[in-house]
Amino acid sequence: MPPQEGKTRVMTGLDLLHMTKELRSIEGSFLKRVYSIDENTLSLLFHPEREGRRELIIDARGAIFLTKLKWSKPQTPSPFAMALRKRLENARIERVHQVGTERILFLEFSRENLRLIIELFGGGNVILLSGDDIVAALRKAVYRDREIRIGAPYKPPPTRGLVLESLSEDRVSKAVREELSADEKLSKVMISFGLGPPYLDEALSMIGAGADSRLSEVGVEAVARLISEFLSRETEPTVYVENGRVVDYSAFPLTRLAFERLSTETFSDAVETYYTSKMSFSEDRRIVSLEKEIGRQLSLKREYEESYERLKRFGDLLISNLHETEEVLRIARSGGSSDRIRSVDRRSGKIIILMGGEEIELDLRRSASENATDYYSKAKKMKEKAARVSQAIAQLEERLRSLRSQREGELSELKPRPRRRMRWYEKFRWFYTSSKLLVLCGRDARTNSEIVDRYMEEKDLFFHIDMPGGAAVVLKTGGAEPDNKSIEQAAIAAASFSRAWRERFSYADVYYVGGDQVSKHAPPGMYLPKGGFYITGRRNYLRVKLGLAVGFQETPDGLKLTAAPPDAPFICSVRIRPGSMSKEEASLRIKNKLITCLERNVKIGGFPEPPADELTVDGIMRSMPPGGVELEE
């Protein structure tokens, strides 16, 4: 998780009380995977999902919620995440509970008496216990009264709040009366029961008291009644917005927060809406450095342009007053005086004269026209320097645009985005032909085998390039006779998703057969390499040109990103062919072109916008064949 923008409020004990109610929905689920999003934040992926949610986000600095979004995870997990994976993967979540109204949450597991403790205070921590002993911790820490380290027994912090068996008014009243001093400040009393900001101001205003008011001034019963009311309120998650900006959230509406209110489906949604609105990302140092360099070059260009204007103006003044200037030079050489002469330095041979309101330095040894020519020559050099700087600036700005585009792509990958359900065919390469027939293309030996074993039927057509190192391509016919255009498009895919692309072939031969002609088992006495297929009967051959387009096709689930032959039906697409450009650079360029195309088509054609997570650099790279590419303009 990137640093948070400004001061982000942390969850209170009351917030955690309401969140715990929601988190009980994952009891009985299995923890499938643990990810480290950053040094403070974990993602716990559980199965089966509950109400469309299968991921728990824990930011030890003060937030925990169930998410429907897809969060970016680093490829390399942290040592702490690996330790949790080793002990907790596939363990059943037996119980989720809070310690009183403290900001401490326990996740108890069915395996080896394992418990995961989340402490959302003082910088936060996540601690794994086996029995009462610490076996892993997000952070080591030593406090006055306890120590967090592997092997040490876990000791909870001194309770700041009051642990209650129930939240009834009688129990709260008894706790207030017996455990708190009558001289205690009301603000401290409220916070002891988890009513930190923003609930604190609301509670104090309801009894007409200030933060410095004492318990004895209001009365134990009135305070206990108020606390009990707050702790027993039903969850009505609310987000507060000011000028389109999310400013706060609460488990139920608060009158003291005089902002526009938005209701959410769950309290997790409210916390996540606030939390993600505060996310910020560090500036790219390359971009910052380039911006500074462009600023420096622009300043230099202005200096050259100003020098050019000044020098040319001097030359023009001398030419316009050629005879008068020559006369001034003659007087100066003879030692005379003139009101146009400001100073004379005979050692250097320089003179400063006043001409047209300008002080101009001249060379006594040269004529007026020679001095004018000298200024024109210097002005020309300044103009040439300004032109060279302009070229350098243009190159820097092009580099800056490329970096900004790249950074936008990186940020779009980092920001949480809606999680969509994948259709079964999306684990392969795929596309729809002009006749709306589905084509499946393997990504590797495993998916090649899976397509043939599980998804190819007898009436389907099997395609393969006539050389080793190609994808298994299957045209799903639905039992009908496919048209020639669909056959040709499947053949182009078979040629393009092969070794021929990496070796930059322009054309390749592809054969196709019926699904009933393909077997993974060779006849007796013959050897079939791993991932190979045995073809019986007659083969049909096509010679096709390699080439694809990357873009959006309409599917029953809306617009989806894919790669297909250029004449396949697309909403927006960018054509590619084998080339030398890296897939990373090509993906960035393709993304920018698709964004422009989509914006235009959505406006004038009424096409629906694709989901935000459909257009990503990783998605574009994943759709393309192995090897370099060239974009067709």
Higher per-residue pLDDT: 145 or 236: 236
Residue 404 predicted with pLDDT over 50: yes
Alpha carbon 369 to chain centroid distance? 65
| Of 560, 561, 559, 564, nearest in space to 549 by CA | 564
pLDDT for the residue numbered 217: 82
Higher per-residue pLDDT: 593 or 164: 593
pLDDT for the residue numbered 337: 87
pLDDT in tens, 326-350: 999 999 998 888 889 999 998 899 9
Percentage of the chain exceeding pLDDT 70: 90
pLDDT for the residue numbered 558: 79
pLDDT for the residue numbered 218: 82
pLDDT band for 610, please (50, 70, 90 cuts).
low
Q: Which residues contact 344 (CB under 8 A, 6 or more apart)?
A: 332, 350, 351, 352, 364
Tokens matching residue 31: 């923890």
CB atoms near residue 633 (< 10 Å): 5
Residue 4 predicted with pLDDT over 60: no
Tokens matching residue 6: 């400004």
Residue 604 predicted with pLDDT over 50: no
Lowest mean pLDDT, pick from 23-27, 443-447, 492-496, 563-567:
443-447
pLDDT in tens, 30-50: 999 999 998 999 999 999 888
pLDDT for the residue numbered 192: 83
pLDDT for the residue numbered 598: 81
Tokens matching residue 464: 């393969």
Gyration radius of the chain's alpha carbons: 37
- Over residues 161-178, mean pLDDT: 63
pLDDT for the residue numbered 601: 66
pLDDT band for 437, please (50, 70, 90 cuts).
very high
Residue 303 predicted with pLDDT over 80: yes
- Over 218-248, what HEC string results? HCHHHHHHHHHHHHCCCCCCEEEEECCEEEE
Gap between the Cα atoms of 334 and 352, Å rounded: 16
Tokens 């809406």 locate to 273
Residue 363 predicted with pLDDT over 90: yes
- Over residues 290-316, mean pLDDT: 93
- Over residues 99-107, mean pLDDT: 92
- Over residues 399-426, mean pLDDT: 74
Q: Is the separation of the CB atoms in 100 and 162 below 8 Å?
A: yes
Gap between the Cα atoms of 619 and 587, Å rounded: 9
DSSP assignment, residue 566?
T
Residue 72 predicted with pLDDT over 90: no
Higher per-residue pLDDT: 465 or 603: 465
What is the average pLDDT score of the chain? 88
pLDDT for the residue numbered 41: 93
Helices (H), 41-120: 79-88
Q: Is the separation of the CB atoms in 379 and 308 below 8 Å?
A: yes
Residue 234 predicted with pLDDT over 70: yes
E-only strand ranges, 23-175: 30-36, 41-50, 53-59, 63-67, 69-70, 91-98, 104-109, 114-119, 125-130, 133-137, 141-142, 147-148
pLDDT for the residue numbered 31: 95
pLDDT for the residue numbered 3: 42
| Of 567, 549, 550, 560, nearest in space to 608 by CA | 560
pLDDT for the residue numbered 1: 46
- Over residues 459-483, mean pLDDT: 94
pLDDT for the residue numbered 223: 83
pLDDT for the residue numbered 287: 84
| Ramachandran class of 91: left when φ > 0, alpha when ψ lies in -120 to 50, beta otherwise | beta
pLDDT in tens, 523-576: 776 766 666 788 889 999 999 999 999 999 988 877 899 999 999 999 889 999
- Sign, CA dihedral 491-497-503-504, equals positive
Gap between the Cα atoms of 225 and 62, Å rounded: 28
Q: Which residues contact 378 (CB under 8 A, 6 or more apart)?
A: 311
Q: Is the separation of the CB atoms in 62 and 124 below 8 Å?
A: yes
pLDDT for the residue numbered 607: 56
Residue 181 predicted with pLDDT over 90: no
Q: Dihedral, CA atoms, 354, 360, 364, 365, nearest 10 degrees?
A: -150
Alpha carbon 127 to chain centroid distance? 28
pLDDT for the residue numbered 361: 94
Residue 365 predicted with pLDDT over 60: yes
Helices (H), 246-367: 267-277, 285-320, 322-333
Q: Is the separation of the CB atoms in 556 and 570 below 8 Å?
A: no
